[in-house]
Amino acid sequence: MGPFPTSTEPLVGTAEPAPTGQTTTSTPRSVRSRSYPWIVAALAFALLLSDYMSRQVLSAVFPMLKTEWALSDSQLASLTSVVALMVGLLTFPLSLLADRWGRVRSLVLMAVMWSLATLCCAIASNYEQMLAARFFVGVGEAAYGSVGIAVVLSVFSPRLHSSLSGAFMAGGSFGSVVGVSLGGVIAVNVGWRWSFTAMAVLGLILVALFRAVVTESRLAKYAVHDEPVTPSDASAPSAPVIRVPVSTLFTNRAVWCAYLAGGFQMFTAAVLLSWTPSFFNRYYGMAPDRAGAVAALFVLLVGTGMVLCGMITDRVSRTDPARKWMTAVVFCTIALLSLGIGLRLGTGAPQLILLGIGAFFSAGCSGPTAAMVAGLTHESVRSSALGTLTIANNVLGLALGPFVVGILADRLGLLESLQLAPLFYVAAIVALLVGKRV
């Protein structure tokens, strides 16, 4: 049975009618709203948008910071990389802490921290102060992705996990687009400091709303457990809370394969997110503003593909969860062929069509891999498991991809380097096939 009640449940504060001639000693049962899990998902997704808007708004004000503070390109890059570095270093320990201390409290603390740190970016007067503020943006954002998706998945049936995971992870792409676009508009009209201020205020408003609506007790009420719980067990006040050792995150070979597949498939997706503006500027002769606008469309394709591929996976694997592995293989194969061929064509409509198809499927197995990790680990350590997946995505993909292509571009040229990036899908496909086998 799913997380939602049937329409026969009594109203809040009423009890089941007792059979004739009998008295009832049962406690009143309350109605569980069908909409509450979706409200939790919507609020968590909104905070994820705020997360990436606060992270990526910096890109929109690069030219202004470079001029005002006379910064070098390496200094500008460090303001971005320090956030990714903190995410990579702190995701696992903070996810583990959230599993033990409380996921809702952890999420609230994280969102408050990155919002206040973004506000500090607005009042920074030099490079050093901005770097320190960005450091704390990274600390606050480090484990939000893993803990946030764990909260969402906890109140939904496993048959929806791929769709929800894909949609949640796609929030990073959507938030990046909104952060850069909105931040640029604000910076041009009222100054770059107001770009950071707007992101910070939005984050604080959303975290206040999240804290008012989402609580640990409400999540427990709507939780969909790994193992069925009988009514007597559920009502027993002394029922023990089952926790498994953290070591179980690393003793399952299939989980390891899901970690690696998620990281390798994110390599090329991260390259597309970072280098498509430069690609259109250099090879299509577009001005920087137009190149950025066209690149934003491809970023939206990446995010949309994450959502729809997750939905496709849930439908295909409804009767056989093992099919998640093969759907992920199909998505990686389509991306490998589309991008591999498209990047070797000359400029023009055929290349753009193939690149669009490749972008759509480039991160398509993000939802399936997150659902695999969630399904292969115990709920008591699920945030930690998804945190480990986040580390793999960041280390093998989001951090490594753009960096490696940048180094190769200095030696081979940007186009030649981009042509090599899709080969990482081969590693992802191998990991997925091995994971299915074991």
Query: Which three-class secondary structure string do you get for the chain?
Result: CCCCCCCCCCCCCCCCCCCCCCCCCCCCCCCCCCCHHHHHHHHHHHHHHHHHHHHHHHHHCHHHHHHHHCCCHHHHHHHHHHHHHHHHHHHHHHHHHHHHHCHHHHHHHHHHHHHHHHHHHHHCCCHHHHHHHHHHHHHHHCCHHHHHHHHHHHCCCHHHHHHHHHHHHHHHHHHHHHHHHHHHHHHHHHCHHHHHHHHHHHHHHHHHHHHHHCCHHHHHHHCCCCCCCCHHHHHCCCCCCCCCCHHHHCCCHHHHHHHHHHHHHHHHHHHHHHHHHHHHHHHCCCCHHHHHHHHHHHHHHHHHHHHHHHHHHHHHCCCCCCHHHHHHHHHHHHHHHHHHHHCCCCCCHHHHHHHHHHHHHHCCCHHHHHHHHHHHCCHHHHHHHHHHHHHHHHHHHHHHHHHHHHHHHHHHCHHHHHHHHHHHHHHHHHHHHHHHHC
Max avg pLDDT among 47-61, 202-216, 288-302, 401-415: 202-216
What is the band of 237 on the pLDDT scale with cuts at 50, 70, 90?
very low
> What is the pTM for the complete model shown?
0.67
- Each residue's pLDDT tens digit, 68-94: 898 776 677 678 778 877 887 888 888
Residues of the chain with pLDDT > 70, as a percent, come to: 85
